[in-house]
Structures are given as structure tokens and as C-alpha cells.
Structure 1
Amino acid sequence: MRRGLRIAFFGSSLVSAWWNGAATYYRGLIRALHTRGHRVTFYEPYACERQAHRDLADPAWARVVVYSVQDTDRLTDCLEEAWGSDVVVKASGVGAFDALLEAQVLELRRPGTQVVFWDVDAPATLERVAKDATDPFRALIPRYDHILTSGGGAPVVNAYRELGAQRCVPIYNALDPATHHPVPPDARFEGDLSFLGNRQPDREVRVEGFFLKAATLLPRARMLLGGSGWEDRALPANVRRLGHVYTQDHNALNCSARAVLNIHRDSMARFGFSPATRVFEAAGAGACLITDAFEGVEQFLEPGREVLVARSGEEVAEHVERLTPKDAWRMGRAALRRVLAEHTYVHRAVQVEAELGFHTPSTAAMAPGRM
């Protein structure tokens, strides 16, 4: 049987979801690649207090190497170790040495080695380079063998091609049914509507418009707000703060409220085709999902049958007010069936293999997960 790929992956963190929205994406994809015979070494910096808030022990399906942000020699050692890999990946938003890594991974190219820039926030990256013609990453884009993105669809692909990208392919967020699945409700998270997301400048206005507005319109509804950064934010009386919700509690959170709300950041909403990991986490738990409207939503879930779509806080409130527990259960189960059939990380891993020109004879690992 053909040998799997040896992949060196420079990203933000595999072992901590603390201020690290890409953690679920990395874990799902890398675990799926491992099940298909590939070997991944994940290099991550000791940054942003992530190591102090680890929520995953070093996994059996990847080798994790942590390097100090105070020691460039250690980073050099990591780059030297990555030499000779079949694939070298630099992800966006590592959080330390980003510009250095973007240039240095390209020096690892040799016959038999492909170098990939994996953009886990392409709308933000593209808006950044569009505003600054001197951004050093602009000149590097044409040198990468592949640009892979976690979202964005045709608008992102076209934008990267205009910047000279050789290849740009979206590898969307998805579901890992081994980690996100239905569980019994948990009294800690009971309510009518929950939203989980860290407080960020490019999301806060939309949270006000979709979540807090709905809470104001439904004063008797029980609303739950999870995520870091909301501690000093004034909230309606019917909104309960949860603080940071660790990944081991995401299933319980998604399975306990009558509905779960997804709100995109500004740039993701503008580009469209950018479903957040929360969309698939909620669907994988069989939750009834309400999402802010975004172009391309029907590519992932069918509005009205598998997901409820809202264009304002008023529409969020209307959905919650009309939603019966029976209807919520039906919609959640329909979403679960859809994501298991089409949107697991094994499906995405097969896409990655095809993009890299690696084909395995069996797709047995694509069997659907639990329901």
C-alpha cells in the first residue's frame, strides 16, 4: 500500500482552544488525515496563554512540538526538522513569527515537497493585504504551491487568484463525529437560545444586532452567552454569562438549549461561503441551529428544514418565539443527517488528498458517524 504523506504543520495550537477558533478545524482535519495513513507533526508557539489553558493532551494521531516565542533558535530547529517533509503547511494566524514563517517555509521546497499556505481566516487576510500594498505576504502568495482556505468560496478563490496564487481551494469547516455528537441535556446550559463566541471587535456589533437585540425583544426568554471577553459588557437581564466554555462542554451546551445561534464575524459575512466551526458542531450534536444569513448557506444546510436563517435580531426573536421543542428536535436531526452524509472531516481530508495529488484506493473511513 502506498505510504502516507509526512506533513509538517505550523499553526496556532492543536492542544488548546483558548482564544483559538481554529482548534476544532485543526483537530478534525488532522485526525482524519491520520486515519487515512498520513503523519502530521504540528508545530505551535507557546503564546497567548494557550498552554496554560490546554484542553487536549498530546494526541495519538499527531506529534505536537511546542516552541518558545522568546527563542528564535528553537523555531529554526523546528524548520530544520520539517525539511524533507512531503508537505509543509504554514497556517494563518499562528500568533508568533507569522511573517518569518510565511517566508521561511518557502525555503523548505525541494523536489517532492509541496508548500501550502492554509488560511483559516481568508476574509480577514484578504482585507488586510488589500488595504496595504506593502504587506510582505502579498509578494509571497504566488510562490506557494497551494492556498487552502477554511471558507470563502468563489469570492476568496477569485481574490487569491488576482493576487497571483497558483492554486486556491476551499477546504471548509466540518464535523468530527468522534468529538461532536448528541449527548443528554445538561441543566447548566438549559435555556431558549445559546450563543458561543469570544468578544471580538469585528463580531461585537453583529452580536448586539442578532443576539442581544433578540434578548431584549424576548424578555421572558432564557438566553445564554458563552465565550471570553464579555465579563464587563452590559447585558439584558435575561442573558446569563457562561464565560469560556471548554470544548469538552460544547456538546452539552449545544444539546441543552432549545436553539443555538451562530453569528459570523464581519468579514466572513461579507465574503459568504464561510460557515463557522460552530455550525457543524451544533449540527453534529443534533441541535436546532439559527444562523445569521450568509451567501452560500444552502451549500451546507437547507434553510427551513435543516437550519433557520435570520437577517436581523427581530427575525432571530421570531424564530425563537415560534419554535416548538418538537420542531427544534426535527430540525436538529435533519441537520445531523446532512452533515454526517456530506460534511465530515473525512470528506474534507479526501479533498486535501486530491488537491495534493495523493489518492488512496479506499474510502472506507468515510462511513457515517453516530446519530
Structure 2
Amino acid sequence: MEPQRMRIVILGLSITSSWGNGHATTYRALVRELVRRGHDMLFLERDVPWYAAHRDPGGTWAGRTELYTGLEDLRQRFTSEVRGADLVVVGSYVPQGVDVGAWVQGTAKGVTAFYDLDTPVTLAKLERGDFEYLAPHLVPGYQLYLSFTGGPTLQRIERELGSPAARPLYCSCDPELYGPGAGRPRWDLGYLGTYSDDRQPVLERLMLDAARGWPEGRFVVAGPSYPKAWCGRPTWSACSTWHRRSTRPSTPPSASR
């Protein structure tokens, strides 16, 4: 029996630019595979200057991608698509995400979901009353709370925030782009990710401690937003290298080696 074709709308941070935005890799892989399964995909992205100035080269993504300038533009141009979709997903860090979420919940006739690719940050924000892209009163209105976090945190989201169904939807990448390369390996261990204070203690243990203990190895850290003091720190081992950024389409050859 053929699977039912669904009309799916995703309102996400950005699929067109990976500039300081790890969401792009997951969204591109997710949308591509859903299209391959026969679903009709529409990705809606707020057109903001910092992503507009850093669109990734070769930017033809699976499905249909549309930019909107603000809430009024979103409502005027895409109400019918949201109303007619079988599933509408609002992602974390969507600009004006609370207003967008309220509009989606009041407009969509199908299933609505919140996709949290920043769950620890989201929960910390809610605890201190920072409702940048999600507010507590919206959580019960999403039929699904999809999170890149698994385990007991999902039960906490259901118990404390009133989600009807919190389920894992882990971050992913396209194996056709990020599979092992054919070239000779340049690094023994690498880390690719945006700087974040809460990740640094683990990164220290994973990369820098290992590099100090294995001077014959080759280690690399790559990603945006690292403070200058961290990048030029004297604790870097002689066998460690740091790169500020690599645009996603050109990342796989270097990342896989």
C-alpha cells in the first residue's frame, strides 16, 4: 500500500544559510528525505539581513522554499498553505516565534508541531521568563513537541509544560553529502560546531585534553562565534588547529577527512 502523500509546511530559522546556523543541515536533510518519500514540502524562512548576506552557494534545496519579510507578509501570502497542510511545524529560534506559533495554531487545520533543536536552551529560557520564540501557553496547543533531545527531558516537557506528546526527532545530516571522503585523512579527530559556553567543558575534554596527551595526533576544531581569546589561547596543543568557519556545501570534503 502506497504511503499517503502529506502536505507539510515548516517554518524554520533558516534553510538557505548555514552561517552560524546548525539548523540548516538538519532541515536540508529532513526536507530532502520527506520529498523523496513523496510528500509536498514548503519551507518558510524569515528574510533577515545576516542570512541574506551569507546565503550558501548552490542554494537549491529540496521542496519549495519561500522567504517572507514579517508577520503581515507571512499571513497575507501563506495562510492558505498553512490552513491546508496536513502538518505544520514551527522551529526553535524562528523570529517572533511566539506570534508565529499563535498564528499557526489558530490557522492550521491539520497537526501542528514545535520542533526544538535547542531544547536545553529553550527550557532555560522558559524558566527565567525569556519567551523569545516559545511561551509556556503555546506548548499544550502543539499536538507534537519534537525535540533533538531524548530521555527523561521529554517526560518533563509533557509533565511540566503540558505537551500532549513530546517525542525525539534527532538532528541529522544528508549522508550523500557528509559521507566518508575518498581522500587521504588529514585529521585523527575533529569537531565542527558553533561556539557555545555550555559545550566548552566537554569540548575541552574531548579535543584539547586528548591533543595534549597524544602529540602525534592531528586535531581540528571548526565553527563560527569562537571568542578571539579562546582561539589564540596558549593551551592549544601544537597538533591542534582551529578554523573560523566553513560554508556547509564545501564542508563535507574537509569534514570527512
Partner residue of 2:232 out of 231, 234, 252 = 234
Q: Distance in 1 between matches of 2:112 and 2:120?
A: 21
**TM-aligned CA deviation for residue 231 of structure 1:** 6.4
The whole-number CA distance in structure 1 between the counterparts of 2:21 and 2:29 is 14
> Is contact 1:119-1:147 (8 Å) kept?
yes
Match of 2:74 in 1: 75
SS in 1 for 2:178: coil
TM-score when scaled to structure 1? 0.60
Question: RMSD of aligned C-alpha atoms?
Answer: 2.5
The one-letter code sitting in structure 1 at the alignment partner of 2:88 is: V
Q: Could you tell me the percent identity over the aligned residues?
A: 28
Gaps of 5+ in 2: none
Matches within 5 A, 1:173-188: 173-185=171-183
1:130 aligns with 2:127: yes
2:250 aligns to what? Answer: 249
* Cα distance per residue 1:145-182 (max 9 Å; x no partner): 111122x2231220111121111111223453322222
CA distance in 1, matches of 2:21, 2:239: 28
One-letter code of the match for 2:107? L
Aligned 8 A contact 1:43 1:78 in 2: no
Gaps of 5+ in 1: 257-371
Q: Could you say if the C-alpha distance between residues 36 and 201 of structure 1 is closer, same or farther in structure 2, counting changes exceeding 3 Å?
A: same
Taking the aligned partners of 1:220 and 1:145, their CA distance within structure 2 comes to 52
Residue 89 (1) aligns with residue 89 (2):
yes
In 2: Cα distance, 1:181 partner to 1:13 partner:
23
Report if aligned partners of 1:126, 1:159 keep a CA contact under 8 Å in 2.
no
CA positional deviation for 1:225: 1.8
Indicate if the aligned counterparts of 1:19 and 1:198 stay in contact, CA closer than 8 A: yes
Aligned length: 247
Give yes or no for the alignment of 1:6 onto 2:7: yes
User: Is the contact between residue 102 and residue 137 of structure 1 (CA under 8 Å) also seen in structure 2?
Assistant: no
Shift of 1:222: 2.8
- TM-score, normalization by structure 2: 0.85
The AA in structure 1 aligned to 2:59 is A
Alignment deviations for residues 98-141 of structure 1 (CA, whole Å, 9 cap, x no partner): 1211211111133xx11111111222212322343988611111
- Residue equivalent to 1:47: 48
Matches within 5 A, 1:130-169: 130-132=127-129, 137-150=135-148, 152-162=149-159, 163-169=161-167
Q: What is the CA-CA distance between 1:29 and the residue it aligns to?
A: 1.3
Tell me which residue corresponds to 1:109: 108
Q: Aligned partners of 2:54 and 2:240: how far apart in 1?
A: 26
Distance in 1 (CA, whole Å) between partners of 2:170 and 2:71 is 32
The structure with higher relative contact order (CA 8 Å, sep 6+) is 2
1:53 aligned counterpart, secondary structure: coil
For 2:165 and 2:147, the matched residues in 1 are separated by: 11
Cα distance in 2, alignment partners of residues 91 and 224 from structure 1: 30
Deviation sequence 1:73-96 (CA, Å, 0-9, x none): 2222244242222211111112x1
